[in-house]
Structure 1
Amino acid sequence: MDTVSLYNIQNIKHILNTHNLTPSKHFGQNYLISSRAIDAICAAADIQKEDCVFEVGPGLGVLTFALLPRAKNVVSFEIEKKLQPYWDQKESTCNTLSVIWGNALKTVPEHIPKKETYKVVANLPYQITSQILRLFLEAEHPPEKMVVMVQKEVADRICAVPGNMSLLSVAVQYLGTPKIITKVPRTAFWPEPKVDSAVLAITHIEKKDVKERDVFFRIVKAGFSSKRKQLWHNLVNGLHIAPEQVKECLQEVTGNTKIRAQELSIAQWKQLAVCLGK
């Protein structure tokens, strides 16, 4: 089975029927049938012959089989055990493919390399997008790059600018540099989902000091605890710091004591964390 044949809905249906499967909403099984999207993902990932690639949610392998000729090896994490005979057969004929079975949120951490560089390239199951991003970005040894398919709305939130920032956008932009590569319409999938998607690349992923990262996120989470309130109020309540100290730091960092959490840039959040940590 090659990538091209997996763009064909009838072929997909045949494979699923063979393994007594129907697309599962619970596992977010919408099969990508667009060669344009696959090409965009591979181009953005810039896979080299020495690259180790991690993939979460391979499904029937439309992306996997496009990655294998390009990479040194591909490690795919799949939860749908009914597909094990299908993937066992693929693994038996390809020594650069490893399929790890189970919930990726539990199985990925024990397989992340301690020293070897790797990339994450995946059409992510949408229900666990945020958790998977956090798992890799906060790993002891984070990936060199991530190129993932996510819901367009999520990609837009991650790439937001000051004025529209959220806890998600601050978290991702603190740890790396996200960029939307291309939009992918819902018609590029079967069954067709209710939302459009986007290919998101995260580069310049930076390993943070754990203590520094924890302090930063404690402050950011407090800051976003109530979107309707001004930032100083959230920080006072969430961090149990005197209002005078918080307002002094906000004035120093932003020049505005009445600013709201969504209006700060990543640089300002970093400065605020330092100021409040004094």
Structure 2
Amino acid sequence: MTIEEIKNLCKKYGVYPSRSKGQNFLLCEEALCEVVEASDIKSKDIVLEIGPGFGVLTKRIAARAAKAVGVELDGKLYAAAKDILKVYKNVEIINYDILKLSEEQLKELTGGSYKITANLPYSITGSFLKKFLTLKYKPDLMALMLQKEVAERICALPGDMSLLSVSAQYYSNPQIVSKVPKECFYPVPEVDSAIVRFEIKKTENDADEKKFFQIARIGFSARRKMLKNNLFNGFKGMGKEIFIAKIEKILQEIGLKNNARAQDLSVEDWKRLAEKIEI
């Protein structure tokens, strides 16, 4: 779709794209195809699309999936999508805030088995990932257009890890499919984007989830400090020398250096650490 076509649709439906709402419409055909391919849509799939806008991506989803469910917060874009997509019998558009969608509503819309595809507003990325990665009815897969910097943080390797990457990689296997320049959107955003594919882990994590994230949050509390010092400050239950010696022993047992920092640990390292630390 061209910029002129998008502008004409905005005029027709009285839509004024809002930067604060992350309303940047994807134009590039190549990027649209890459999002669809990353979604790995099969003929029996139900696909949840966040922010269908003018239905450019929705049409491609509907051509492959059993059903496409678009969740649109903006009232005018909801009306536009309903009108544009009315000829598609396997498309349902609802006017709702995706972050307020309950598990019961989600199950009613999708049957509990679904995939997610979205050109996600940057402002809700963190809240969105926290919600859908921790649901009882998690998606089978997500293909999301995200801010490039955030995508790179999510997919980071040990040495550059953050609490965000640890959290995302605890529940899924994220991978950057491709990077999308800002010029592929209208209006043009300030930053480039990237398509990230999240393959949701099917098996239950063997770690104590509450304990895992408690220790990880403490570990990342002061990024420049060594992990053992952050852990001491978070668990002041014994003398520093005794505690540090105990932590150093644990770090050695799991194959880490005494001067390791939180960003050096993989998800598996955090799991082993959580198993050995007594809270």
Do the two structures share a fold, i.e. TM-score over 0.5? yes
Distance 1:23 1:75 in 2: 22
Residues 53 and 81 in structure 2, CA contact (< 8 A), matched pair in contact too: no
Partner SS state of residue 56, structure 2: coil
CA shift in 2, pair 1:241/1:181, >3 Å? farther
Matched, 1:268 2:262: no
Once the two structures are superposed, what CA deviation does each residue of 1:5-41 show, in whole Å capped at 9, x if it has no partner?
A: xx12112112212222211011111110011001111
Residues 53 and 80 in structure 2, CA contact (< 8 A), matched pair in contact too: no
Distance 1:223 1:267 in 2: 15
Partner of residue 40, structure 1? 34
Partner of residue 3, structure 1? none
Shift of 1:94: 2.7
Alignment partner for residue 175 of structure 1, among 171, 187, 194?
A: 171
Distance 1:124 1:162 in 2: 26
Alignment partner for residue 73 of structure 1, among 67, 78, 93?
A: 67
Alignment partner for residue 50 of structure 1, among 44, 65, 68?
A: 44
Partner amino acid for 1:112?
L
Distance 1:235 1:102 in 2: 42
Residues 19 and 82 in structure 1, CA contact (< 8 A), matched pair in contact too: yes
Distance 1:240 1:23 in 2: 51
Partner SS state of residue 176, structure 2: strand
Most deviating of 251-260 and 187-196: 251-260
Partner amino acid for 1:19?
Y
Partner of residue 251, structure 2? 250
What is the percent sequence identity of the aligned residues? 38
Distance 2:177 2:160 in 1: 20
Matched, 1:225 2:226: no
**Which blocks of at least 5 consecutive residues in structure 1 are unaligned?**
1-6
CA shift in 2, pair 1:182/1:260, >3 Å? same
Once the two structures are superposed, what CA deviation does each residue of 1:115-147 show, in whole Å capped at 9, x if it has no partner?
A: 642111111111111211221111102111111
Partner of residue 115, structure 2? 119
**Which blocks of at least 5 consecutive residues in structure 2 are unaligned?**
none
Partner amino acid for 1:247?
E
CA shift in 2, pair 1:241/1:124, >3 Å? farther
The normalised TM-score by structure 2 is: 0.90
Partner of residue 214, structure 1? 210
Partner amino acid for 1:48?
K
Once the two structures are superposed, what CA deviation does each residue of 1:202-226 show, in whole Å capped at 9, x if it has no partner?
A: 1142464698222211111111111
Distance 1:200 1:108 in 2: 24
Shift of 1:149: 0.6
